[in-house]
Amino acid sequence: MAFVAGVVAAAGLAAAYGLLATRAVGVYFLIITLALGMGTWGLAYRWSSVTGGGNGLLGIPPLDLGLPWPLGDPRHYYYFVLVVFAAVAFLLYRLVHCPFGLSLRYIVRTGWTSSQVNHPFGEWVVRNTRYRRVATIGYDFAFGHENAGGFQRVFEELGGRVVQKLWPPIGAPDYGPYLAQLRRDVDAVYAIFSGADALRFLAQYRDFGLKGRIPLIGGGTLTDEHVLYQMGDEALDIVTALHYSAALSTPANRAFASSYARKFQRPPSYYSENAYTAARLIYETLVQLRGNVEDKETFLNSLRRARVDDAPRGPISMDPYGSPIQNVYIRRAERPGGILQKTVLFTYEKVSQFWKYDPESKMT
């Protein structure tokens, strides 16, 4: 019973620590994690009457698994651990080489990682605005945290500071309670929403009287074309970052956007461009292999090396991990000629998911 209670207590403590630590990014995540870990270790070491101090937990008998060999014998325990380790290693090997494991190894991302477009955006904000104290508000799940976290990491490394973070749930019908908490002494607010949530948030931001008082910046989906055509003046002057804008002035995008608009009576969104360019990457791979797709490993390896130089978003290639290297555009919502669009202010070329960081350190 004590063994089970110990496992449950450790899991609960780890969950509480994780809840605290994952609210921070970069060096702050490391500081909080180390502080909590060392504090717990120090408590366990000093409270020797309960924990046994440096000798470990005392008075806990070996777990009785009903085996014919008593695990209290160190030799029996050693061979028991060896057998369990070998069994787990074999199961991991089988997992990696089964169809499910192979599918994980050969995932190719043709869109973007959530922090990828926000790393350069954090730099652009510091270099091109006077915003130094920013509040963030966004989805309380991985997409929101990754977008805001990527922005925060670079923004703070260059001297900015995120002074408040608010996390509404996806599909929140009313952002009033969060907007009421929003600090009014910040230079700007970074927001990350999409779809109907973006429409509601921007309308309520305006209705709260914050439009024009606190500048709004954000993740690319906040004013993406999939919702921009339904927006009004509440979207004007919002600056966001993404790897596509329907207003991108290149021959490839002008042809794509014009053809798309004729067929669907609206500008293409980044979702539309993503699907189109994904098909282009597959097509280029098929051309390279002369249509031979029977060898799945060869096909997938070729797809990882594919590139398209004239995609609507601009040139795209793949990094060694199957994620795109592509341009990131800083866009501002404007209304030239009476039609809302996202005008490209600046282009960061050939941005990978790792930005300027060492891939090996980020993957470990």
Query: What pTM was estimated for this model as a whole?
Result: 0.76
Res 67: pLDDT: 79
Res 74: pLDDT: 81
Q: Where are the domains of the chain?
A: 1-60, 67-105, 118-363
Judged by DSSP in three states, 74 sits in: helix
Lowest mean pLDDT among 45-59, 94-108, 253-267, 268-282: 45-59
Tell the residue number behind the tokens 């207003």, with chain if given.
247
Res 58: pLDDT: 58
Mean pLDDT, rounded, of the chain: 90
Q: Is the pLDDT of residue 44 over 80?
A: no
Element (H, E) at 312: none
Of 162 and 44, the one with more pLDDT: 162
Lowest mean pLDDT among 42-46, 107-111, 339-343, 358-362: 42-46
- C-alpha atoms less than 13 angstroms from C-alpha of 341 in its C-beta half-sphere: 18
| Residue 364 CB contacts under 8 Å (≥ 6 apart), including other chains | none
- Mean pLDDT to the nearest integer, 280-304: 91
Q: Which two tokens stand for residue 14?
A: 């780890």
Q: Pick from 171, 164, 104: which is nearest to 141 by CA?
A: 171
- What is the Cα 149 distance to its own chain's centre? 8
Residue 248 main-chain phi, psi, to 5 deg: -60, 125
Q: Is the pLDDT of residue 62 over 70?
A: no
Res 71: pLDDT: 77
Q: Is the pLDDT of residue 65 over 80?
A: no
Residues of the chain above pLDDT 90, percent = 67
Instruction: Round to whole Å and give the CA distance between 193 and 179.
Output: 14
Res 45: pLDDT: 66
**Where does the pLDDT of residue 101 fall: very low under 50, low under 70, confident under 90, or very high at 90 and above?**
confident
Q: Parallel, antiparallel, or unpaired for β 316-318 and 133-138?
A: unpaired
Instruction: Round to whole Å and give the CA distance between 255 and 62.
Output: 72
Provide the residue type at 354 as one letter. Answer: F
Q: Is the pLDDT of residue 25 over 80?
A: no
Of 132 and 66, the one with more pLDDT: 132
Instruction: Round to whole Å and give the CA distance between 265 and 229.
Output: 11
- Mean pLDDT to the nearest integer, 111-138: 97
The dotted CATH code for 118-363 is 3.40.50.2300
Residues in the chain: 364
- CA distances to 283, 284, 306, 332 from 315, rounded to whole Å, are 15, 13, 11, 22
Instruction: Round to whole Å and give the CA distance between 204 and 207.
Output: 5
Of 252 and 58, the one with more pLDDT: 252
